[in-house]
Amino acid sequence: MRFLNDHTIKLERELNDLDRFVLKFLKVLEKYVDYVIISGYIAILFGRSRATEDVDVFIKPIDREQFIRLYHHLQKDGFWCLNAESDDEVYSYLGEGIAIRFARSGEAIPNFEVKIAKNILSLATFSDAIEVETSEGTIKISSLERQVAFKKYYLGSDKDLEDAKHIEELFKDHLDYDTIKKYKDLIKKEYG
């Protein structure tokens, strides 16, 4: 693994089934809306050995017609929504701020937990996202600094703290600790 520039990492490991699931879903998603992966899958992508049931992703706000096209394309490509079957019902969940989940047809795990970015902190995730180039496609993730800050100062479970520690150890020569502190302060201001 190596940095190609400040916003691009080349991942030089063999991909696993979870990575291929992620890439297949993102190949459809990115045709309809901008996205960024957040949370635990990022640590897993970079070699942390742990299981996950879901891959969290923020999307930018999307209108109903565009969402319905996305929804039907996902169905055509072998995904189903765990929340509901009706495209209107699924879209209404998003509008209410409820995350929607997609998995391979007939399965429940792993799944994508899709959320619309609505507040300032979640929308800002798009401005400093990093692209991870793999042998089979590109995955857009939240910045490493943002990832560490949210894991340590917002989520805070043992699993999240271990994820943050893994990222900090792996990228210690690339992390901007002033930026992590800035996110820490923003998290405390936004979420108390």
Position 39 confidence tier, pLDDT thresholds 50, 70, 90: confident
Residue 86 domain boundaries: 2-142
The torsion region of residue 173 among left (phi > 0), alpha (psi -120 to 50) and beta comes to alpha
* pLDDT reported for residue 15: 97
Q: Are residues 103 and 179 in the same domain?
A: no
By CB atoms closer than 10 A (0-12, 13-18, 19+), residue 12 is: exposed
Q: Are residues 46 and 137 in the same domain?
A: yes
Is 80 exceeded by the pLDDT of residue 63? yes
* pLDDT reported for residue 191: 82
pLDDT (average), residues 111-136: 96
CA atoms within 13 A on the CB side of 58: 19
pLDDT (average), residues 25-32: 99
Position 32 confidence tier, pLDDT thresholds 50, 70, 90: very high
What pairing do the DSSP bridges indicate for beta strands 79-81 and 100-104?
antiparallel
Q: Are residues 112 and 167 in the same domain?
A: no
Q: Are residues 190 and 99 in the same domain?
A: no
Q: Are residues 118 and 187 in the same domain?
A: no
Q: Are residues 21 and 95 in the same domain?
A: yes
Q: Are residues 46 and 95 in the same domain?
A: yes
CATH number of the structural domain spanning residue 91: 3.30.460
Predicted structure pTM score: 0.95
E-assigned strand segments in the chain: 2-5, 8-10, 35-38, 54-59, 79-81, 100-104, 111-116, 130-134, 137-141
Q: Are residues 128 and 164 in the same domain?
A: no
* pLDDT reported for residue 66: 98
Position 130 confidence tier, pLDDT thresholds 50, 70, 90: very high
Q: Are residues 72 and 158 in the same domain?
A: no
Q: Are residues 138 and 149 in the same domain?
A: no
Count of domains forming the chain: 2
The percentage of residues in the chain with a pLDDT greater than 70, rounded to a whole number, is 100
pLDDT (average), residues 112-128: 95
Q: Are residues 111 and 161 in the same domain?
A: no
The percentage of residues in the chain with a pLDDT greater than 90, rounded to a whole number, is 93
Q: Are residues 98 and 187 in the same domain?
A: no
